[in-house]
Amino acid sequence: MVNPPAAAAGFDSPRIIYVRNSHQLEYFAHSEWVDPPARMLGPLLVTAIAHTGAFGAVVLSPSAATGDLRLDTEIIRLQHEFQTQPSRVRFTLRAILVDNKSRRVLAWREFDSYATATSEGPPGGVAAANRVVQTVLSDMATFCVEAMRTAAVEPAVAPSSLPPTVR
C-alpha cells in the first residue's frame, strides 16, 4: 500500500519554487505545476515499486485492498536552485516503510538528489525536475525491496510466479 505523499510546508501547492538565497523560497510568477507535486508523485511511486517485480501488487491508498506493507512518503523539497551556475533542481523525499500487521517501522530513508537545469527558466527547471524525480524514484524502489528482504517480510505471491492458468 502506498499512501498519498505528503509535502512539507511551502511545498504543498502547484506553485513552482525557486531559491536564490538560502532558506528563502520564491515562486515563479507565471509558471505552475499542473497539480501539486505530492499529488502527481503518488502514481509514479506505485509504478516505480511495481516495476521492481518484488511485490505481488502495489496500490495507491485509499483502496479497498489491504496490504502487508505500507509506504509513507513526504516531499521535503522540490526547488530550482540558482546559487550555482548552471542552476539545478533539488529533490528530497523521505520514505518510511511500515509493516501493517505489527505497525513496526521496517526502514526509513531520505533521498536527496540534484539535476542540472537545461536552461535558467521554468522550462529548464521542469526538465531537471523530471530527471531528478526519476532518479529518486528508482533509488526509493530499490530501498523498498531491500528493506522488505532485510525485514524478512513475505509479500503476496507475484503474478509472474503463479501458474499460467491463474494469471
Q: Is 68 exposed, middle or buried (0-12, 13-18, 19+ CB in 10 A)?
A: middle
Can you tell me the mean pLDDT for 102-108?
92
Instruction: Assess if residue 154 is contained within a domain.
Output: yes
This prediction has a pTM of 0.85
Instruction: Assess if residue 141 is contained within a domain.
Output: yes
DSSP state of 152: T
Strands 15-21, 69-81: pairing is: parallel
Can you tell me the mean pLDDT for 87-106?
94
Can you give the CATH number for the domain in which 128 is found? 3.40.50.10610
Mean pLDDT value across the chain: 89
The structural domain count of the chain equals: 1
Instruction: Assess if residue 167 is contained within a domain.
Output: no
Instruction: Assess if residue 163 is contained within a domain.
Output: no
Please give the residue range of the domain that contains residue 67: 6-158
pLDDT at residue 101, as a whole number: 87
pLDDT bin (cut points 50, 70, 90) of residue 148 is: confident
75 residue type, one letter: I
76 residue type, one letter: I
Q: Is 23 exposed, middle or buried (0-12, 13-18, 19+ CB in 10 A)?
A: exposed
Paired residues of 108 in beta bridges: 96
Can you tell me the mean pLDDT for 90-104?
94
The C-alpha cell at 16 is: 513552482
Sorted by sequence, the CB contacts under 8 Å of residue 139 that are 6+ apart come out as 111, 113
Instruction: Assess if residue 25 is contained within a domain.
Output: yes
Instruction: Assess if residue 113 is contained within a domain.
Output: yes
DSSP state of 143: H
pLDDT at residue 157, as a whole number: 47
Instruction: Assess if residue 96 is contained within a domain.
Output: yes
Sorted by sequence, the CB contacts under 8 Å of residue 57 that are 6+ apart come out as 50, 65, 67, 156
- Please state, in angstroms and rounded to a whole number, the distance separating the CA atoms of residues 121 and 16: 11
Sorted by sequence, the CB contacts under 8 Å of residue 14 that are 6+ apart come out as 32, 33, 34, 35, 36, 37
